């Protein structure tokens, strides 16, 4: 069975880093993902809730801001809760981010305000080692 989600979209707000009671970093944010549309139709976007944990959460909150284009690989997770206002049972659908990466260069993503020497991507299954590309001029394409 597969539970794999791959998305690219723009952050709808600045992500904020929080910590659980066990001091584990976590951030929740949403991205706007454009739907495909035919010529002459109005474009539409879906707003997808994303949750990132540990080093992935730290990476996202450090390098991404509202309007930044982000690439996400993860899985869909559901959780049930009771609505405080109505007392009814609800189900939330979220994407748990396993791998995040930049989708645009710093020049293209002026709204994102990325920091110099940011890693190109972060995969929480990595050992923590990654190479830093100092400038766009060093890219092979």
What is the full DSSP assignment across 76-131? Answer: EEEEEEE-TTT--EEEEEEEEEEEEEE-S-TTTTGGG-PPTT--SEEETTS-S---
Q: Between these two residues, 54 and 126, which has the higher pLDDT value?
A: 54
Going from the N-terminus, what domains does the chain have, and what CATH number goes with each?
Answer: 5-138 (2.40.50.140)
Tens digits of per-residue pLDDT, 31-64? 999 988 778 888 899 999 999 999 999 999 999 9
Calculate mean pLDDT across residues 68-84: 95
pTM of structure = 0.72
Which pLDDT does position 116 carry in this prediction? 46
Q: Which is nearest to 50 in space by CA: 79, 69, 77?
A: 77
Report the share of the chain in percent with pLDDT over 70: 74
């Amino acid at each position: 069975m597969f539970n794999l989600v791959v998305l690219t979209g723009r952050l709808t707000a600045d992500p904020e880093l929080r910590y659980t009671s066990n001091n584990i970093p976590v951030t929740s944010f949403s991205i706007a993902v454009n739907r495909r549309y035919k010529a002459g139709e109005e474009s539409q976007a879906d707003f997808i809730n994303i949750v990132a944990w540990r080093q992935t959460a730290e990476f996202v909150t450090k390098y991404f801001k509202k309007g930044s284009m982000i690439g996400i690989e993860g899985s869909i997770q559901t959780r049930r809760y009771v609505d405080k206002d109505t007392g009814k049972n609800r189900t939330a659908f979220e994407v748990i981010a396993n791998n995040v990466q930049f989708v645009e260069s710093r020049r293209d993503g002026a709204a994102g305000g990325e920091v110099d020497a940011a890693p190109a991507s972060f995969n929480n299954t990595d050992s923590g080692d990654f190479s830093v590309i100092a400038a766009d001029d060093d890219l092979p394409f």
